[in-house]
Structure 1
Amino acid sequence: MASVLAGKMGLNSLLRKQSRNFNVRICTMESDMEFSCEVKWKGKDLFDLVCRTLGLRETWFFGLRYNIKDTVAWLKMDKKVLDQEVPKEEPITFNFLAKFYPENAEEELVQDITQHLFFLQVKKKILEEEVHCPPEASVLLASYAVHAKYGDYDSSVHKPGFLAQEELLPKRVINLYQMTAEMWEERITACYAEHRGRTRDEAEMEYLKIAQDLDMYGVNYFLIRNKKGTDLLLGVDALGLHIYEPDNRLTPKCSFPWNEIRNISYSDKEFTIKPLDKKTNVFKFNSSRLRVNKLILQLCIGNHDLFMRRRWVDSLEVQQMKAQAREERARKQVERQRLQREKQLREEAERARDELERRLIQLQDEAHMANEALLRSEQTADLLAEKAQIAEEEAKLLAQKAAEAETEMQRIKVTAIRSQEERRLMEQKMLEAEILALKMAEESERRAKEAEQLKQDLQEAKESERRAKNKLLEITTRFINDRPLDSVALTVYMEKSKHLQEQLNELKTEIESLKLKERETPLDIIHNQNTEQGTSKQSNFKKVISQLRAPHSVFQHRD
């Protein structure tokens, strides 16, 4: 069986040499790429090809990582790819990742692509809990991650539930509190809304500025054993070497800043750190494998080189990159201001249009009501005119009847019979005629008054009709000549967020009552103790920072 495997491996090696090319797959944080490489290519040839493809110029932070025998390894730049212990199966897979971290992301990361790749890698490490992040910081970081993806918050677009499918918080944080997904989204969205006005690039940088203060940010941990046989952890980062207890990766027991280290070397599995101060004891430890020692030394050399570079004058290339970045940011700022102005003018125009539409509807309603009032006035006037005409005709008829009654009475008086009986009858008839005439006169007077009242009502109805017509004319004229109201200027930039620590404290206070204490991890407990004692990453490195301006460390190593 072994001979068969050896034969296959030999055949693969022979075929690879004969083909003159081999295939690789490069996995970045966003996508995968495949290349065909020449067998003579060194690690630098492949690495430069990947960087050119990505448009990346800040190459010193990155490397090509692969796994070999359950151990992480980084492709060496000065050796042929195929001469290294890379996987034998094609396409050979490498991960393009940040190998070294900046001390200050805002000052050191120049290109947007560099910043973006760091953002994606740090976010992944936090979500996968490779970097411990307290709950309140997790919420704030999640809000910047949402802003980097969705841009400015818009309540009409980003409605409840829009984050349901997003992975934004470490599972440890979610399990630590009695909170539903809706409650987490509500708190993340509240922070997200406060970031209005920032670009996506600025949101990613804010994310990195918060993340770089986390205790485990940028630290590579290795299990070691000191001369007494005690298990410890060695941490390598941008500031130096740190020794931790195995169960506490947050607070180092001791640290060796790069500017206090004179020499680092290894022999087989033994690793030696010699401080610059000769009075300080030499620190020796053993690692599990020789390959691990090589990796530790590789990280030490790279971090030390960057540590020194930060304290030297920038190279011409870096100066040009920074100048180009400043020009690009200035151009983007002008473009953003132009877009914001256009957006403001568009929103003002939309508000003016909405106001005109509202006024139009209001005027249409008023015109409709005036038309109805005019119609009612016209109907009332017609009815009153008809009644007045009838009353006038009735009054004329009654007046005519009264005149006829008066004539009849005079005739009766002239033709009265002299006899007593006839006289009595005549007097009775005259009395009746007088009563009838009196009634007729009263009725005529009443009808005349009623006709006069109807004429007055008709006059008022016509006046009401005239006013209704004038009102309608006034509304129409006012609509034609009316100008839009002055709109309130749009607030371009929201009020700046409160101080970061105040935000974190506020978030912590909001969710503290919902915490399930029994689910706290050992690192959570250590973090809480450090917070109560006022211990932070900054205070731990206070001594380191005070000595950073005297870098005299020299590295000697063996292959």
Structure 2
Amino acid sequence: MLSLKIHSDKKLDPKKCFDVLVKVCDNEMMFSMKLKAKGKDLMCLVSDSLGLREMSYFGMQFEDVNNDFVWLVNNKQILSQKVKCRMPREFTFTVKYYPENLTAELIQDQTIEIFFSTVLNNITCKDLFKNLSGEEVAISLMALELQTKVASCAINMRSEVDAFTDQLFKKYQITKNNQNEELFNLQCSKVKMLSKVDAELEYLGLAQQFKCFGVTYFNIKRNKTNKCVLGITNRGINVYNTTDVYQPCFNYTWNQISNVSFSDKKFMVRMVDRSMQDFIFFVDHVKTNKTIIQLCMGNHELFMCRRRPEPREMQQLKIISVQARKQKTLEREMMVKEREANEVMERRIEEQRSLVERLQLECQQLQQQLTLSQDALVQSEQSCDLLSERVMLLEEEIKLLDVKVKQQELDLYKADMASIQMEQDRIMYERRALEAEILASQVVEECDSRSKEADQLRLEMMEMREEELKTRNKYRQLLQLFTNLEKTKHLQQKLKHLKSEIQVLRVDKPSTTATTISNNHVNNNSSHTNNNNTKNDVKNIADDDNDNNADDDTMKEFTINGADDITGQMTCDAILSNNCSSNTLIGKLLQYAHL
């Protein structure tokens, strides 16, 4: 950023002057002004400092005490226009009026540069290209902006160009993809031969195609409810809807307007043609009407000047500018050619330098290789001796290895024979295992058959035990019968004795009969006792025969003997208790003997 401080030739009293800071594009200029200095004095200082002759397009903009940006009036004192109290006072030198054809009407390079800076700021800050152009126009503007930087030598290095390109894509909000990059590179190749001023003029020519280019907008009211937008242009006055500020509803050209005036917040536009209705609208502030009327007057004056013959001074200025531009174009072409020639020469020099460096590097490498080869030769000679010794050692090792190989072959042969023997043993073991399995199956079958035979023998043994039990029972019965037979014989003897006694009794007295019966009763008791003893002897014999089945046989013997005792007891008691005849007694005895 350039900062300049300029004073007049005469020294000014600090108490009677004030400092002014003027911003022009990216530069700043500092001036000391008198307290009573007017706006046109500041404009003259700026024009003299910049060398501008086309001052009719520019104006001074400042921020007032209400924080609004307004234009400086040239015919009024600076300090009387409510400039915000700052030290120094700040102003911006910028474009106020736009010509109808920028590329044809702008003459000086300084004018073109200021217009370019102003339009560039408006386009990128207000995003005008988003609604009024496609990506192709935006990419063309990007390429021209890059060319202005490259042509002015602001950026030279490839890395700086790439960084600035990335900033342009972000600033213009263009997606950086392969297609857009190819289009951008194509546009850059088309404009790479343009000078800085030509690139700026091309940029302004593209920007002039926008419908909102060079339009200053104001919010107005036709009445209390009808709101719209007023646009002041270099061709006339346009009226827009609030929803669309790019397509005017209707417009009035400067040659149709005869007079403009305002009264407080009311603004009136009178027409040359009386049949046309005057245009009247209202604004919110009086200062807005002042700004509108300034723009109307300045644009109308420029509109009329463009339709009058150009002054001789402007013609000479255009001729000088065209010649200077041609001269600059020739100089640029020569400079481009020289640059290309220098680039070719530098490229050749660089190639030669690289070739020399490569050759030097190759020489160094060859020298290093030669040194290495010599070292390798010495090492090879030393290694030959070592190798010869190693060969001898290797031969001895080979002999040892031969012996080991033969030993290993022998071991391998033995291992093979052992494996064959193992295979034969395995086959034999498998055969034996098979035979063992067959034998085991036979043994299992034999065991099954023997188990069946054992079961059969167990059944037969049980049957034999049953038969043995039956035989023992029969034996007991036979013993019982034998005992009964003995009892019968004893009873027969007793009967014979009784018969003999009965016969005796028949002969003797009746008194002897009772005595005889009592004796018989005693004899019968002794016989019964003897009978019981005989039965106990039989029981002991049966117990001796049945030692293996003591419990069961004892119970049965007890039952049988008990029954016999009870039967004998009952028989004897019956015989002794009844005083029956001898025939009856003999019959009962015979019946008992039979049983």
**Alignment TM-score, normalising by the size of structure 2:** 0.53
8 Å Cα contact 1:258-1:304 kept in structure 2: yes
Q: How has the CA–CA distance of structure 1 residues 362 and 327 changed in structure 2, closer, same or farther, with 3 Å as cutoff?
A: same
| Mapped pair 1:331 → 2:327 | yes
Aligned match of 2:146: 146
Aligned match of 2:105: 108
From 279, 284, 287, the equivalent of 1:288 is 284
Give the 3-state SS of the residue equivalent to 2:63 in structure 1.
strand
Question: Mapping of 1:60-71 within 5 angstroms?
Answer: 60-68=56-64, 69-71=66-68
Give the 3-state SS of the residue equivalent to 1:214 in structure 2.
coil
8 Å Cα contact 1:245-1:252 kept in structure 2: yes
Aligned match of 2:265: 269
Q: How has the CA–CA distance of structure 1 residues 311 and 345 changed in structure 2, closer, same or farther, with 3 Å as cutoff?
A: same
Give the 3-state SS of the residue equivalent to 1:52 in structure 2.
helix
8 Å Cα contact 1:152-1:198 kept in structure 2: no
Q: 1:144 offset after TM fit, Å? A: 0.3
Aligned match of 2:79: 82
* One-letter code aligned to 1:142: M
8 Å Cα contact 1:64-1:94 kept in structure 2: yes
Q: 1:40 offset after TM fit, Å? A: 1.9
Aligned match of 1:242: 238
| Mapped pair 1:198 → 2:203 | no
| CA deviations over 1:364-396 (Å, ceiling 9, x no partner) | 9xxxxxxxxxxxxxxxxxxxxxxxxxxxxxxxx
How far apart, CA to CA, are the structure 1 residues paired with 2:159 and 2:151? Answer: 14
How far apart, CA to CA, are the structure 1 residues paired with 2:70 and 2:170? Answer: 27
Aligned match of 1:278: 274
- Which has the higher relative contact order, 1 or 2, with Cα contacts under 8 A spaced 6 or more apart? 1
* One-letter code aligned to 2:109: D
Q: How has the CA–CA distance of structure 1 residues 268 and 336 changed in structure 2, closer, same or farther, with 3 Å as cutoff?
A: same
Q: 1:256 offset after TM fit, Å? A: 0.6
From 12, 16, 19, the equivalent of 2:15 is 19
| CA deviations over 1:94-149 (Å, ceiling 9, x no partner) | 11110011111111110001000110110111111263444332221111000100
| Mapped pair 1:123 → 2:120 | yes
How far apart, CA to CA, are the structure 1 residues paired with 2:176 and 2:290? Answer: 47
How far apart, CA to CA, are the structure 2 residues paired with 1:18 and 1:349? Answer: 59
8 Å Cα contact 1:232-1:244 kept in structure 2: yes
Aligned match of 1:529: none
* One-letter code aligned to 2:285: R
Aligned match of 1:162: 162
Q: How has the CA–CA distance of structure 1 residues 353 and 161 changed in structure 2, closer, same or farther, with 3 Å as cutoff?
A: closer
From 41, 45, 52, the equivalent of 1:45 is 41
Q: How has the CA–CA distance of structure 1 residues 359 and 64 changed in structure 2, closer, same or farther, with 3 Å as cutoff?
A: closer
How far apart, CA to CA, are the structure 1 residues paired with 2:329 and 2:102? Answer: 20
Aligned match of 1:300: 296
Give the 3-state SS of the residue equivalent to 1:241 in structure 2.
strand
How far apart, CA to CA, are the structure 2 residues paired with 1:321 and 1:261? Answer: 31
* One-letter code aligned to 1:281: Q
Q: How has the CA–CA distance of structure 1 residues 18 and 360 changed in structure 2, closer, same or farther, with 3 Å as cutoff?
A: closer
How far apart, CA to CA, are the structure 2 residues paired with 1:20 and 1:33? Answer: 20
Give the 3-state SS of the residue equivalent to 1:83 in structure 2.
coil
* One-letter code aligned to 1:251: Q
How far apart, CA to CA, are the structure 2 residues paired with 1:194 and 1:261? Answer: 44
Aligned match of 2:135: 135
8 Å Cα contact 2:150-2:156 kept in structure 1: no
| CA deviations over 1:282-316 (Å, ceiling 9, x no partner) | 11100111100010000000001111111111123
How far apart, CA to CA, are the structure 2 residues paired with 1:88 and 1:164? Answer: 38
Q: How has the CA–CA distance of structure 1 residues 238 and 156 changed in structure 2, closer, same or farther, with 3 Å as cutoff?
A: closer
| Mapped pair 1:98 → 2:95 | yes
Would you say how many aligned residue pairs link Structure 1 and Structure 2?
Answer: 348
How far apart, CA to CA, are the structure 2 residues paired with 1:357 and 1:90? Answer: 59
Q: 1:276 offset after TM fit, Å? A: 2.1
8 Å Cα contact 1:152-1:196 kept in structure 2: no
Q: 1:187 offset after TM fit, Å? A: 4.1
Give the 3-state SS of the residue equivalent to 1:333 in structure 2.
helix
> Larger % of helix: which?
2
How far apart, CA to CA, are the structure 1 residues paired with 2:56 and 2:201? Answer: 19
Give the 3-state SS of the residue equivalent to 2:40 in structure 1.
helix
Give the gaps of 5 or more residues in structure 1.
1-15, 365-559
8 Å Cα contact 2:219-2:283 kept in structure 1: yes
Q: 1:29 offset after TM fit, Å? A: 1.4
* One-letter code aligned to 1:236: I
How far apart, CA to CA, are the structure 1 residues paired with 2:170 and 2:123? Answer: 7
Q: How has the CA–CA distance of structure 1 residues 361 and 75 changed in structure 2, closer, same or farther, with 3 Å as cutoff?
A: closer
* One-letter code aligned to 1:158: R
* One-letter code aligned to 2:24: T
Give the 3-state SS of the residue equivalent to 2:287 in structure 1.
helix
Q: How has the CA–CA distance of structure 1 residues 135 and 129 changed in structure 2, closer, same or farther, with 3 Å as cutoff?
A: farther
* One-letter code aligned to 1:140: S
Q: How has the CA–CA distance of structure 1 residues 292 and 354 changed in structure 2, closer, same or farther, with 3 Å as cutoff?
A: closer
8 Å Cα contact 1:116-1:204 kept in structure 2: yes
8 Å Cα contact 2:195-2:329 kept in structure 1: no
Q: How has the CA–CA distance of structure 1 residues 171 and 279 changed in structure 2, closer, same or farther, with 3 Å as cutoff?
A: same
Q: How has the CA–CA distance of structure 1 residues 44 and 163 changed in structure 2, closer, same or farther, with 3 Å as cutoff?
A: same
* One-letter code aligned to 2:206: I
* One-letter code aligned to 2:79: L
Question: Mapping of 1:223-238 within 5 angstroms?
Answer: 223-227=219-223, 229-238=225-234
* One-letter code aligned to 1:274: R
From 69, 74, 85, the equivalent of 1:72 is 69
Q: 1:172 offset after TM fit, Å? A: 7.4
* One-letter code aligned to 2:19: N
How far apart, CA to CA, are the structure 2 residues paired with 1:61 and 1:18? Answer: 33
Aligned match of 2:545: none
When Rg is computed on C-alpha atoms for both structures, the one with the higher figure is 2
8 Å Cα contact 1:24-1:37 kept in structure 2: yes
Q: How has the CA–CA distance of structure 1 residues 223 and 172 changed in structure 2, closer, same or farther, with 3 Å as cutoff?
A: farther
Aligned match of 2:453: none
Aligned match of 1:220: 216
Q: How has the CA–CA distance of structure 1 residues 363 and 282 changed in structure 2, closer, same or farther, with 3 Å as cutoff?
A: same
Give the gaps of 5 or more residues in structure 2.
1-11, 361-595
Q: 1:252 offset after TM fit, Å? A: 0.5
| CA deviations over 1:214-250 (Å, ceiling 9, x no partner) | 1111100000000363110000011110000112111
How far apart, CA to CA, are the structure 2 residues paired with 1:115 and 1:234? Answer: 28
How far apart, CA to CA, are the structure 1 residues paired with 2:160 and 2:330? Answer: 34
Q: How has the CA–CA distance of structure 1 residues 345 and 161 changed in structure 2, closer, same or farther, with 3 Å as cutoff?
A: closer
How far apart, CA to CA, are the structure 2 residues paired with 1:310 and 1:37? Answer: 34
8 Å Cα contact 1:215-1:250 kept in structure 2: yes
| Mapped pair 1:254 → 2:255 | no
